Amino acid sequence: MSSDKINNNLGGVEIPTGEPILGVKNFSKWFPINNSWNRQTGWLKALDNVSLTVNKGEIVGIVGESGCGKSTLGKTIMGIHKLTEGSVNFEGSEIGHLNPSESRQLRRRLQYTYQDPGASLDPRWKIGRSLHEPLEIHTTLSKVEREKRVKAILTAVNLPEAHLDLYPHEISGGQQRRIGLARILTLHPSLIVLDEPTSGLDVSVQATILNLFLDLQKQFNLTYIFISHDLSVVRMICDRVAVMYLGKIVEINETEKLFSNPKHPYTQSLLSAIPVIGGKKVTENFWLEGEPPDPSNLPSGCSFRTRCPKKTDQCLQSPPPLTSTSGEHSVACYNT
Amino acid sequence: MFETIKFLIKKLAQDRTAAIGVFLILSLILIAIFAPILATHPADITEFHPPERLQGPSSEHYFGTDRMGSDIYSRLLYGARITIAIALIAISVSVVIGVPIGLLAGYYRNWVSDALMRVSDIFLAVPQIILAIAIAQTLGPSIQNVILALSATYWPFWTRLVYAETRSALNEPYVEASIALGASPSRVMILHVLPNISSSIIVRTTIGMGGTILTAAALGFLGLGPPPPSPEWGRTIAESREFLPEAWWYAAAPGIAIFLVVMGFNLLGDGLRDILDPRTRRSKGG
Amino acid sequence: MILELEGVKVDNKLLSVKGLEVGFDTEQGLAKVLDKVNFEIMPGEIVGLVGESGCGKTTLARAILGVLPKNSARISSGTINFDNNDLLKLSSKDLADNIRGKLITFIPQDPLTSFNPVFTIGAQMMDLMKWKSPDSVKGKYFTRYKKARQVTDKKRIIDLLHTVQLPDPEGILRKYPHEVSGGQRQRLMIAMALLPEPRMIIADEPTTALDVTIQAQILKLLRGVAVDRGVSVLFTTHDLGAAYEICDRITVMYAGQEVETAISKDFFSQPRHPYTRKLLQSLPNNSKNLKGIPGQIPALINPPSGCRFHPRCDEAKSECAKLRPEVTWPKKGHMLRCFNSNSVSAKETKNVVR
């Protein structure tokens, strides 16, 4: 336990920009399905053989609809769920199979926020106390030194010191969000998983939040994994995007290339579903029918074949592997 | 801390029924503290004057005299001390035992939590009065044994409450965030969950006081409480039985006292719940 | 069906809200949620009511249905004319029996919590038909649900389930709400909204909780059935993309005031109100130019005077704080409440919309 707290300088392995900082390989997370007698009847394959590399300084988007596994991916990387198979490599160390207390030191530079970071503030705690908490947990800094760091972070997110004595409900929603992010930043993380960070936000506020993320990225030299169901937002801020369907990554590419030239049929249907103001109406041309199959009972071969216009016999037999085509592009389909 | 108390007092004052509750409880506490000063015949706790027995209420004896000639009014005031002591200690012990067990059972999702809840179920199944009789038989009737019987059977109520509240508090985003940050279980339980469920505990405790007093009085009535010449209210009612209905004041005085105290706690508890629990608040806002 | 609106009173409006003022009692005072709002729907048209949180669109929808919270809602002035009846003057019994669920039906945002979890879908739909079917007898609570009517009603239900493209309608009727998916539940909601053969459907953010591919399907369906049956739809949303897809006309609201109304084409290509323009500019587009609207939506306890947008408006003048702008019609069918002249050049419109 005490070995977790020796590192007062909050040092860690410094990865140079552009080099892989997080590597996920053959990653699976299966949840057991129990019937009413608590006997296992099957597996829910929330994540199935997912591989992904994130480079330092990047913003990688993970998109997909409900049930695709993007949130599970974020949580399993963080250790909130224990992974079933595969490996997670962060800053050179393998963290996948360690339990939370073993990996606490290694995981300190890997942080997570779900939806509204402002909701992570305990409503009965003063903001100052909430900001001290990460440092209390992970370091042995004295109160004075923690206070210094906390004040520095507040300045970095452009908020006044007076906020330290206020309660969360006494400041605005947008400011709460910034405090929530500041709280994570006290530990000087190198990679932050943002899980649905713009969900529920009004459009006029979205832009402000995205700008905040970009500013913080520059200031703190951060890398982001940006999980969202909102493709338009992802398009604005991500360098690369991975599209997920029923637990697998079906396509990854640089953002603009993915949006202008999607190759996987699911990606194509997903992009064509987004309303474009001033353009052709989606409702007149949308072709994707039906709904995703039950995730506990996936079809054999490619999971998308039940709705895919391009399916062939090969698609029934085995799931297509994620194959690299050119540059940053990989796609999992036999028929592109 | 002080701002919350000031806020509470202000809100309580606005709610008329809660204000009555506060008034009753405060009176009880003041009476208990100042009993020696307020009593007209303080010595009557231990002394008795047979010639004056069973006299009706008069200017000298406000509530009349009992079968030993002692002043019922003064004995009632001293009885308040016993009532408060029993209720306070029994509830405190129950809370101190019940709340931590509830927290642990709620936080962990394994055999530990199941085992703790089963233990609390077992204690819940024990009938209070029977247990009290058993204890009184083996260890003799006394105030400590009443407290023992009450605590042993009351703590599971707090465990269940805290268990349910902890389970739902664990889903709150700020608790999840703390866990994701690496907070240890004890930190999460004590610093995050407990303060946020404290209002339910306070409300349950206040309302529980009323029930405790009632049960303590019942135990006293059955002779399981402090032995004579203790002025305990339940015992006084028991003593009065053979002299009813002529010596009506003998039973009425302690009876009304119990009634007022229990009602006071119930009203206070209701008021507190309305203030502290946002869900049952009589909302005016849309 | 798009009908040209003029500044002249057109008598065959289906719904006409005039000067509606609604406040909510809160601990901090009266929240002025709707500030003398005007709003109209013609028969057979789909009108979008767009705005961000706190703009009052849900309150307006609820006021029309008559389901504002009784303890705290205060309607201080205005009329809601539906088919030439002022809904505010009707008794609550009349509203409940004849209007709500019959002439005006509702599609909620969250279909899961709108279903009773302990009854089958079929049971709930038959219950709806018992009271609100077009054949139902008015106002009698204790009439028996005659067998003959049950049979025709059941057929109606099955037909509608086919219309909303649900596979295996008989099977679905036997299921419980939690056993079907979100998209299917919303289709069921649409079916239930159509069963009483209403004149108007109020759809309150019906696709907000759905995935984008399901949203596309639902929007297509909703527009299809509304147009087929000539039912008007009041479609509230904060998603301008969804409004673009199916609305004939769009009204935008800000902090309890309606600020602009136009037919869909004009709304998106020639927005005149500064708030509308800013809103359209802040939509994600591929220019990577992230623009928000500085400032915050005001608290409604003490809202800004006059035009409530003036503190955040680039073009605010001194009169904007004094008085709320009157209704003007800069173009046929295009309503605007703003003191600025707002003629929009062709060059500007290109920057506003993708």
What pLDDT is attached to residue C345? Answer: 43
What pLDDT is attached to residue C98? Answer: 81
Q: Over chain A, what is the mean pLDDT?
A: 84
Question: To which residue do tokens 């290109």 refer?
Answer: C350
How would you write C289-350 as a 3-class SS string?
CCCCCCCCCCCCCCCCCCCCCHHHCCCCCHHHHHCCCCCEEEECCEEECCCCCCCCCHHHHH
Domain spans, chain C: 15-103+203-352, 113-195
How far apart are the CA of A207 and the nearest CA of chain C, in angstroms? 5
Distance CA B54, CA C55 (A): 75
B175 phi and psi, to 5 degrees? -75, -45
Please check whether residue B99 lies inside any domain of the structure: yes
What pLDDT is attached to residue C288? Answer: 61
The pLDDT of residue B99 is above 90: yes
A330-331 vs A323-324, strand pairing mode: antiparallel
Spatial CA neighbour of A316 closest among A329, A334, A328: A334
Q: Which amino acid is at C283?
A: L
What pLDDT is attached to residue A5? Answer: 37
Asked if C70 has any chain B CB less than 8 Å from its own CB, the reply is no
CB contact under 8 A, B182 and A80: no
How would you write B136-201 as a 3-class SS string?
HHHHCCCHHHHHHHHHHHHHHHHHHHHHHHHHHHCCCHHHHHHHHHCCCHHHHHHHHHHHHHHHHH
Asked if A276 has any chain B CB less than 8 Å from its own CB, the reply is no
Asked if B110 has any chain C CB less than 8 Å from its own CB, the reply is no
- pLDDT mean over C110-123: 88
Asked if C69 has any chain B CB less than 8 Å from its own CB, the reply is yes
Spatial CA neighbour of A241 closest among A265, A260, A222: A260
CB contact under 8 A, B286 and C27: no
What pLDDT is attached to residue A255? Answer: 92
A54 phi and psi, to 5 degrees? -120, 130
Please check whether residue B90 lies inside any domain of the structure: yes
Q: Which tokens hold the place of C22? A: 């609604």
What pLDDT is attached to residue C5? Answer: 47
A133 close to A94: Cβ distance less than 8 angstroms: no
Tell me how crowded residue C47 is: count the other CB atoms within 10 A of its CB: 23
A68 close to A111: Cβ distance less than 8 angstroms: no
Which subunits sit against B, judged by 3+ Cβ pairs under 8 A? A, C
pLDDT in tens, B52-76: 778 888 887 888 888 888 888 888 8
What pLDDT is attached to residue B262? Answer: 92
A169 close to A125: Cβ distance less than 8 angstroms: no
- Global confidence as pTM: 0.78
The pLDDT of residue B110 is above 50: yes
Question: To which residue do tokens 């796609």 refer?
Answer: A331
What pLDDT is attached to residue C284? Answer: 74
How many interchain CB pairs under 8 A, A with C?
Answer: 107
- DSSP states of chain B as a string? -HHHHHHHHHHHHHSHHHHHHHHHHHHHHHHHHHHHHH-S-GGGGT---GGGTTPPP-SSSTT-B-TTS-BHHHHHHHHHHHHHHHHHHHHHHHHHHHHHHHHHHHH--SHHHHHHHHHHHHHHHS-HHHHHHHHHHHH-S-HHHHHHHHHHHHHHHHHHHHHHHHHHHTTSHHHHHHHHHT--HHHIIIIIIHHHHHHHHHHHHHHHHHHHHHHHHHHHHTT-SSPTT---HHHHHHHHGGGTTTTHHHHHHHHHHHHHHHHHHHHHHHHHHHHH-TTTS-----
Per DSSP, the three-state class of C260 is strand
What pLDDT is attached to residue C128? Answer: 87
Distance CA C243, CA B40 (A): 82
- pLDDT mean over B28-43: 84
CB contact under 8 A, C212 and A276: no
CA A116, chain centre distance (Å): 14
Q: Which CB contacts under 8 angstroms, 24+ apart, belong to A93-97? A: A93/A13, A96/A27
pLDDT in tens, C185-234: 999 999 999 988 899 999 999 988 788 888 888 999 999 999 999 999 99
How far apart are the CA of A38 and the nearest CA of chain B, in angstroms? 14
The pLDDT of residue B196 is above 50: yes
Closest CB to A276 among C181, C246, C354:
C354
- Total number of domains in chain B: 1
CB contact under 8 A, A133 and B176: no
Distance CA C291, CA C289 (A): 6
Spatial CA neighbour of A50 closest among A68, A67, A31: A68
Tell me how crowded residue B74 is: count the other CB atoms within 10 A of its CB: 23
The pLDDT of residue C11 is above 70: no
A113 close to A180: Cβ distance less than 8 angstroms: yes
Lowest-confidence region among A183-192, A290-299, B191-200, C50-59: A290-299
Per DSSP, the three-state class of A190 is coil
Asked if B278 has any chain C CB less than 8 Å from its own CB, the reply is no
Q: Which tokens hold the place of C318? A: 């001194």
Question: To which residue do tokens 């899980």 refer?
Answer: A195
The CA distances from residue C353 to A267, B207, C249, in Å, are 24, 62, 17
Q: Strands (DSSP E) along chain C, which ranges? A: 15-26, 29-41, 46-50, 73-82, 85-86, 104-107, 200-204, 232-237, 249-254, 257-263, 328-331, 334-336
Q: Is the ipTM of this complex over 0.95?
A: no
Residues in chain B: 286
Strand arrangement of the beta sheet that strand A330-331 belongs to = A110-114, A191-195, A223-228, A59-63, A240-245, A248-254, A330-331, A323-324
Per DSSP, the three-state class of A268 is helix
pLDDT top residue among C352 and A151: A151
Sequence-distant (6+) residues with CB within 8 A of B168 are none
pLDDT top residue among C354 and B198: B198
Distance CA C354, CA C351 (A): 7
What pLDDT is attached to residue B239? Answer: 87
Please check whether residue B56 lies inside any domain of the structure: no
The range of the structural domain enclosing residue B103 comes to 82-231+262-276
Per DSSP, the three-state class of A111 is strand
Q: Kindly report the CATH number assigned to the domain that includes residue B112.
A: 1.10.3720.10
What pLDDT is attached to residue B98? Answer: 93
Q: Which tokens hold the place of B225? A: 């409480």
pLDDT top residue among C135 and C260: C260
Distance CA C156, CA C129 (A): 9
**Which pLDDT band, with edges at 50, 70 and 90, does B1 fall under?**
low
Distance CA B156, CA B168 (A): 19
pLDDT in tens, C340-350: 866 554 334 44
- The percent of residues above 90 in pLDDT, for chain B, comes to 19
**Which pLDDT band, with edges at 50, 70 and 90, does A249 fall under?**
very high
Q: Does domain C15-103+203-352 have CATH number 3.40.50.300?
A: yes
For residue A29, list its beta bridge partners.
A47
Per CB-CB distance under 8 Å, the chain A contacts of C296 are 172, 174
- Domains parsed from chain A with CATH numbers: 2-109+188-331 (3.40.50.300)
The pLDDT of residue B191 is above 80: yes
pLDDT in tens, A27-54: 888 888 887 777 777 788 888 889 999 9
Per CB-CB distance under 8 Å, the chain A contacts of C282 are 203-204, 206-207
pLDDT in tens, C149-178: 888 888 989 999 998 988 889 999 999 998
Q: Over chain B, what is the mean pLDDT?
A: 84
Residues of chain A in Cβ contact (below 8 Å) with chain C: 65-66, 172, 174, 202-208, 210-211, 214, 229, 231-233, 235-236, 256, 259, 269-270, 273-279, 281-284, 286, 288-289, 291
- pLDDT mean over B263-285: 69
Distance CA C276, CA C257 (A): 13
Distance CA B139, CA B26 (A): 34
pLDDT in tens, C69-107: 888 888 999 999 998 888 888 888 888 888 888 899 999
CB contact under 8 A, B174 and A120: yes
Spatial CA neighbour of A302 closest among A327, A274, A336: A336
